[in-house]
Amino acid sequence: MEDATHFTGATQARNDFGVTGDLNGNPNLYNTSDIVVAVVDTGIDANHVDLDGGKVIAFFDAVNNNTTNSYDDNGHGTHVAGIIAGTGDGNSNNRGFAPGAALVSVKVCGATAAAGCQTNDIIQGLNWLLANRNTFDIVNISIETFGTQAQSQNVIDLINQLNNTGKTVFVAAGNNGQAGYNTLSTYAKHTPYSVGNVRDPDEGGWGLSVSSSRGTGSTGPWVVAPGHNILAPLANSNNGYTEKTGTSMATPAVAGIHALMLDAFYTTGVNNGGSLILGTRNLGVPGFDKNYGNGEVLAYESIQASLGQQVTNFNDNRLYSVVQGAATAGQWDLYTFTLPSGQPSLNLNLLITDEGQQDLDLFLWIPGTTLNDAPQTSSVLPGSIPQDFINWSNPAGGEYIVGVRSIMQAANYSLEISY
């Protein structure tokens, strides 16, 4: 399977993924607390209306050794937890992916960026999870590090131990994509289930977020999911929400989808031929690649497979095409396409797939203009970023021309067009 679809936050996650109950129309699939997700982060504000009422069933504090109620003096962990399992009590449009899931809060990061996430605290938190592994099913670690493997080996070993006990651990791929390829977080490089970050059509079109860390050669993130401008609970606000962007937000999207898959599988699918294989769709170059890994997660199709039902062919009418090209120095590659009228936006995403810091430029001519006219808009990012993109709001219907140009060096690329 290969695919996913759009949501503007943890907000419309379930609705935009077509998830309104199980595939037999049973809404109880999302009301159970049988599935538990452990959030290794800055803590969880268990008083936020989306996360209160006993949703946080256990709490461990490696930072301040607080043994009472779960708290979050930073806000990052609360945002992550809301994407996974927020109930939407503060705003019914802001439910997380698995609002019926329960949570375990493991605080390993301090209140400020300066305090950070200390390796010894992460080790302590993961050891606690290993000792209490019968209390949860899934682990979310939206923490990045770019230290050496040797510096991170103890954490890597503990993550892999948890995976080997059957507790799937999703880790953030990292937010160092501006530096180009081979920028995955050290945890992501050496554990199996890392998640990168893509924009959705309402946030600049399907395409890798510029900040999402990338692999190198035949390595990359495991999968990608939307993580751009995600609206989720604001810690210590009672019922407020805030937007955040990054692989930290994409990772809990996948953790929440996996919670739904587990619930579907053990509710119906285990006796119906269900399969716990995450469904994705291909973006970028065909097959596994260093930008998108195995592709963008498809929630609805993943749940269909978990229930043992025939997986439908995903039809995203907002993704026009994905083109593979090879630019020759000093020449143009030109593409024409017809955009239907009434589209909210037109989005072009150009990924340079070579790793030698080649620089390509992307241009767009709108209907009524020709190549003799100046292009109406262009996006030229620094050459160290192997990517360009164009976002055109409220475009007119008609024939468009897209130009890809290399001035100095030949380069291979992938061009994604969506609206």
For the residues of 64-109, what is the DSSP string, one character each? T---SS--BSSSHHHHHHHHHH---SS-GGG--S-TT-EEEEEE-B
State the pLDDT at residue 11: 31
For the question of residue 213 being annotated catalytic, the response is: no
Separation CA 169–CA 163 (nearest Å) = 6
When mean pLDDT is compared across 18-22, 145-149, 338-342, the lowest value belongs to 18-22
Does the pTM exceed 0.85? yes
State the pLDDT at residue 393: 87
Separation CA 70–CA 221 (nearest Å) = 31
Compute the average pLDDT of residues 204-220.
92
Compute the average pLDDT of residues 27-50.
80
State the pLDDT at residue 380: 65
Catalytic residue among 248, 306, 414, 418: 248
Confidence of residue 396 (pLDDT cuts 50, 70, 90): very high
Q: Are the C-beta atoms of 201 and 176 separated by less than 8 Å? A: no
When mean pLDDT is compared across 45-59, 68-82, 202-216, the lowest value belongs to 202-216
Q: pLDDT at residue 29 above 60?
A: no
Dihedral sign for Cα atoms in the order 92, 93, 94, 97: positive
Q: pLDDT at residue 52 above 80?
A: yes
Q: pLDDT at residue 403 above 90?
A: yes
Q: pLDDT at residue 245 above 50?
A: yes
For the question of residue 76 being annotated catalytic, the response is: yes
Listed in sequence order, the residues at least 6 apart from 340 whose beta carbon sits closer than 8 Å to its beta carbon are 397, 419
State the pLDDT at residue 1: 24
For the residues of 146-157, what is the DSSP string, one character each? -S-HHHHHHHHH
Confidence of residue 206 (pLDDT cuts 50, 70, 90): confident
- 192, two tokens: 């199996």
Q: What is the pLDDT of residues 130-158, one digit of tens each?
A: 999 999 999 999 999 999 999 999 999 99
State the pLDDT at residue 284: 92
Q: What is the pLDDT of residues 288-301, one digit of tens each?
A: 999 999 999 999 99
Q: What mean pLDDT, rounded, does the chain reach?
A: 88
State the pLDDT at residue 18: 32
Domains (ranges, CATH) in the chain? 13-307 (3.40.50.200), 319-418 (2.60.120.380)
Compute the average pLDDT of residues 60-65.
96
Catalytic residue among 41, 200, 202, 263: 41
- 417, two tokens: 């067009």
DSSP state, 154? H
When mean pLDDT is compared across 221-225, 244-248, 347-351, the lowest value belongs to 347-351
Separation CA 60–CA 125 (nearest Å) = 7
Question: Of all residues in the chain, what percent carry a pLDDT higher than 70?
Answer: 90
Q: pLDDT at residue 311 above 70?
A: yes
Confidence of residue 26 (pLDDT cuts 50, 70, 90): very low
Dihedral sign for Cα atoms in the order 241, 246, 250, 256: negative
Nearest to 11 by CA among 81, 96, 77: 96
Separation CA 219–CA 18 (nearest Å) = 31
415 vs 14, higher pLDDT: 415
Count of C-beta atoms within a 10 Å radius of residue 128: 19
Catalytic residue among 76, 79, 190, 228: 76
Separation CA 342–CA 361 (nearest Å) = 28
